[in-house]
């Protein structure tokens, strides 16, 4: 089906304000009024836009398919085609979802992306009409109902969502509460997805991101630490398809940019480094226990929550989440404080799903983060992501003199949820003006430098709060 994109509109998806404009065409001699635009919100609060003529589409095309059966990635027809999926056929132009059936379409993005979807449909008048959608949600647990505008002519409904880099799936379902009398489905003609790099958000702003270069990563061994005497931590009450949604559930801000340092062995291409790459398409998977993964930040941060994500096939292969685990933090890589402890009840048997929990009190001056678990009940452990929430620190000023680090220090574990540090005392005689040019910090690992810098940053640290979604 050919769609001619000739009508331009100015709009704000996911917002409240909609604006009509006129489009001057035909060499400026004729003015044609734009198609009607209607904004409305679903029960879940998400806002959608309806177009009576095919709209111009923003961003890179990620998917453009018709209702042809051959263009589906997959479908679930509980009673069979012609019963639950009316009109679905090879070479067909449209189909109609019935009785809680679903169709789905795969797409992929190379970076965190704001996706705009358009569903071309006909919702014939005479009854309420609707359709559901979700993203990366094979069980339909987080599907969103769209109340469609009825018309005998084809229309387009549009909405937005955000996904991380990797492969994803867009799902369509018969509408929630469909009884084929008071509420009916619609005929689906086209599905279109367009992407743009994600706008600055809590997870990607400069203030919330700590960057670490490979040259700064020291050589360390992963410690084997005692598990703390803490109650098992519960998640925020639900799983989420995106990192930002999980962070919003606890009112916190993700701090990205942790650089992998060391860890235990993983399966082929499924090592401990994958916990820190901000990509649920990769995972740390192993049958060798304990599982260990240690990472560091370029500058000390303040931590106030944790977020962890399941991997690609937890729903198919159960009991792969860690049945006993702990997360530790450190200012110097030697002395560790346990900030979180839990078991496999923190997770559900879902795929690519984030789970979050807030700490009882913020922990300052965190340079290193370390994950340890005793494996999984199935004998095969897997997890895709570990993210801390909080406030990223600023780079510490270079210093000319530092104390030599201690020769050897055994790793110790504290079970308090706070870390106390004191800023170094100075006298008037010791105070000097900053030189015109600063000396770059050496690229080698100096524990004394890091400890001193961490104390300075801690004394000047600040907290940023994020409004709960």
Residue 247: its pLDDT value, please?
94
CB neighbours of 17 closer than 8 A, spacing ≥ 6? none
Query: Which residue spans within 394-466 are E strands per DSSP?
Result: 412-414
Whole-angstrom Cα distance, residue 288 to residue 309? 20
CB neighbours of 275 closer than 8 A, spacing ≥ 6? 260, 284, 293, 295, 371, 383, 384, 385, 386
Instruction: Using the structure block, give the residue that is written with the tokens 């990769």.
Output: 282
Q: Phi, psi (5° rounding) for residue 275?
A: -65, -20
Whole-angstrom Cα distance, residue 253 to residue 164? 16
Name the helix (H) or strand (E) containing 104: strand 102-109
Whole-angstrom Cα distance, residue 323 to residue 294? 19
Count the residues in the chain.
Answer: 469
DSSP string, 298-349: EEEEEEEEEEEE--TTTTTS-S-SBSSEEEEEESSSSEEEEEEEE-GGGS-S
Write the secondary structure of 355-367 as one string of H (helix), E (strand) and C (coil). Answer: EEEEEEEEEEEEE
* CB-side neighbour CA atoms (13 Å) of 270: 19
Region at 274 (left for phi over 0; alpha for psi -120 to 50; beta for the rest): alpha
Region at 189 (left for phi over 0; alpha for psi -120 to 50; beta for the rest): alpha
**DSSP-H helix ranges across 119-174:** none
Q: What 3-state DSSP class applies to 142?
A: coil
Residue by residue, pLDDT tens for the chain (469 residues) are: 333 333 333 333 333 333 233 333 333 333 333 344 444 444 445 789 999 988 887 789 999 999 999 999 999 998 888 889 999 999 999 999 998 899 999 999 999 999 999 999 999 999 899 999 999 998 888 899 999 999 999 999 999 999 999 999 999 999 998 988 889 999 999 999 999 988 754 444 444 455 555 557 899 999 999 999 999 999 999 999 999 999 999 999 999 999 999 999 999 889 999 999 999 999 999 999 999 999 999 999 999 999 999 999 999 999 999 999 999 999 999 999 999 999 999 999 999 999 999 999 999 999 999 999 999 999 999 999 999 999 986 655 544 444 444 434 345 565 544 434 344 444 434 444 444 444 443 444 444 434 444 443 343 343 333 222 2
Residue 47: its pLDDT value, please?
82
**DSSP-H helix ranges across 160-254:** 243-249
Task: Please give the domain boundaries of the chain with CATH numbers for all domains.
Answer: 10-197 (2.60.120.260), 206-459 (2.60.120.260)
């Amino acid at each position: 089906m050919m769609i001619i994109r000739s009508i331009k509109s100015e709009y704000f998806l996911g917002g409240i304000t909609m604006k009509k404009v006129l489009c001057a065409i035909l060499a400026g001699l004729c003015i044609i009024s734009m198609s009607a635009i209607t904004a409305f919100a679903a029960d879940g609060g998400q806002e959608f836009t309806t177009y009576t003529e095919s709209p111009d589409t923003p961003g890179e095309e990620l998917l453009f398919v018709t209702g042809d059966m051959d263009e589906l990635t997959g479908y679930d027809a509980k009673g069979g085609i012609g019963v639950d999926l009316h009109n679905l056929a090879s070479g067909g132009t449209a189909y109609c979802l019935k009785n809680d059936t679903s169709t789905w379409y795969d797409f992929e993005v190379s970076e965190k992306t704001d996706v705009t979807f358009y569903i071309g449909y006909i919702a014939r008048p005479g009854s309420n009409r609707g359709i559901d959608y979700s993203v990366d949600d094979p069980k339909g647990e987080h599907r969103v109902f769209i109340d469609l505008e009825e018309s005998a002519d084809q229309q387009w409904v549009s909405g937005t969502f955000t996904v991380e880099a990797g492969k994803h799936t867009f799902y369509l379902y018969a509408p929630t509460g469909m009884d084929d009398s008071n509420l009916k489905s619609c005929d689906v003609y086209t599905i279109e997805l367009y992407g743009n790099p994600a706008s600055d958000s809590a997870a990607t702003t400069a203030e919330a991101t700590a960057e670490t270069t490979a040259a700064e990563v020291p050589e360390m061994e992963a410690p084997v630490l005692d598990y703390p005497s803490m109650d098992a931590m519960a998640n925020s009450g639900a799983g989420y398809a995106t990192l930002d949604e999980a962070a919003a559930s606890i009112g916190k801000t993700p701090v990205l940019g942790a650089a992998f340092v060391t860890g235990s062995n993983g399966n082929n291409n499924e090592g401990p480094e994958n916990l820190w790459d901000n990509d649920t398409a990769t995972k740390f998977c192993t049958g060798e226990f304990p599982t260990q993964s240690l990472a560091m930040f370029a500058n000390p941060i303040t931590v106030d929550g944790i977020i962890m994500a399941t991997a690609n096939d937890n729903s198919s292969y159960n009991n792969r989440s860690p049945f006993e685990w702990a997360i530790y933090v450190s200012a110097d890589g030697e002395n560790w404080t346990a900030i979180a402890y839990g078991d496999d009840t923190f997770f559900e048997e879902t795929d690519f799903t984030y789970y979050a929990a807030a700490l009882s009190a913020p922990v300052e001056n965190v340079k290193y983060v370390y994950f340890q678990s005793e494996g999984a009940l199935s004998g095969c452990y897997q997890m895709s992501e570990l993210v801390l929430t909080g406030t990223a620190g600023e780079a510490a000023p270079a210093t000319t003199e530092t104390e030599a680090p201690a020769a050897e220090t055994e790793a110790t574990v504290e079970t308090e949820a706070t870390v106390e540090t004191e800023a170094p005392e100075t006298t008037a005689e010791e105070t000097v003006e900053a030189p015109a040019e600063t000396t770059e910090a050496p690229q080698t690992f100096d524990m004394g430098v890091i400890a001193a810098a961490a104390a300075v940053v801690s004394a000047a640290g600040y907290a940023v709060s994020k409004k709960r979604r």
